[in-house]
Amino acid sequence: MPESILVVEDETLVRDLIVLNLEHMGYAVVATDSFAAGYRALLLESPSLAIVDIMLPDGDGFALTRKARDSGVLCPILMLTARSDAADKVRGLDCGADDYLTKPFDVTELLARVRALLRRQAGQKTPPVRYELGRFWVRLDTGQALTNEGELSLSDKELRLFTLFAKQEDRVLSRADILEEVWGMDAFPTDRTVDNFVLRLRKLFEEDSDSPQHFITLRGRGYSFRRVPHTG
Ligand code: CA
């Protein structure tokens, strides 16, 4: 089964260029030209990856990406922007996009980024929507969770951090990796922010937050998440 890629772009010439090149590389491509059609396809086609233009006739790519993430869409999203404004990049990543490319772009660069995002995705386990952790659980689509503090709703950042750990089980995640994945390129959060959020997850999901069995600190390297507590 070829990997499927959704393209959301209203400019015919740009869309055709992207579609032809992706098809040439062997991907199955679904092309749409509006916010509404793109959103429908994200939900119904479950693409492996989506390429989303910011300027669409009936909305913008930021809102589309956020809406898709809010609806539980986890596939990598690459945003296209006509502006090379750093603020746009931050905004795109904050909305839940994984990468962005400024128009006009070199098609070989687009293809390279698509491959990189798909590779990254392939290395990640797709967690089930209701993720069980010992006697606790988290709904990755809504953020509802059963925790030491009872049933509650995780904040957006807590949920994104939890989902990142769930996808990257047993891998080493540096604080920089976590900042980039959860906070985007925003300059304000610091390593300390990451530590505070991990402490929060431990309070919620560890039997004993002073002796964590799931959210493990690796000195000088970052964190690693283990679903099953390691014994001995
Ligand atoms: Ca456009």
Coil vs helix vs strand at 92 = helix
pTM strictly above 0.75: no
Judged against a pLDDT cut of 50, whether residue 199 lies above it is answered with: yes
**78 near 49, Cβ under 8 Å?**
yes
Q: Which two tokens stand for residue 152?
A: 């509650």
- What is the gyration radius of the CA atoms in the chain, in angstroms? 19
| Distance from Cα 43 to the centre of ligand 1, integer Å | 21
Q: Which two tokens stand for residue 101?
A: 């490319």
Taking residues 195-216, report their average pLDDT: 95
pLDDT value at position 230? 59
| Distance from Cα 19 to the centre of ligand 1, integer Å | 15
pLDDT value at position 232? 43
**197 near 188, Cβ under 8 Å?**
no
Distance CA 142, CA 204 (A): 17
| Distance from Cα 56 to the centre of ligand 1, integer Å | 5
Judged against a pLDDT cut of 50, whether residue 225 lies above it is answered with: yes
Q: Which two tokens stand for residue 202?
A: 């431990």
pLDDT tens for each residue of 143-182 = 999 999 999 999 989 999 999 999 888 889 999 889 888 8
**55 near 31, Cβ under 8 Å?**
no
For 118, 159, 162, 165, 183, the CA distances from 189, given in Å and listed in that order, are 27, 17, 17, 18, 7
| Distance from Cα 36 to the centre of ligand 1, integer Å | 14
Q: Kindly state the DSSP code that residue 37 receives in the 8-state scheme.
A: H
Bigger pLDDT: 229 vs 137: 137
| Distance from Cα 77 to the centre of ligand 1, integer Å | 16
The dihedral over CA atoms of 155, 226, 75, 3, expressed in degrees to the nearest 10, equals -170
pLDDT tens for each residue of 57-108 = 999 999 999 999 988 888 999 999 877 677 777 777 788 899 989 988 999 9
| Distance from Cα 55 to the centre of ligand 1, integer Å | 4
Q: What rounded mean pLDDT belongs to the chain?
A: 89
| Distance from Cα 53 to the centre of ligand 1, integer Å | 6
pLDDT value at position 185? 60
Bigger pLDDT: 168 vs 51: 51
| Distance from Cα 221 to the centre of ligand 1, integer Å | 41
Judged against a pLDDT cut of 70, whether residue 13 lies above it is answered with: yes
The band of 184, judged by pLDDT with boundaries at 50, 70 and 90, is confident
Cis peptide preceding 104, ω within 30 of 0: yes
Distance CA 130, CA 133 (A): 10
| Distance from Cα 41 to the centre of ligand 1, integer Å | 17
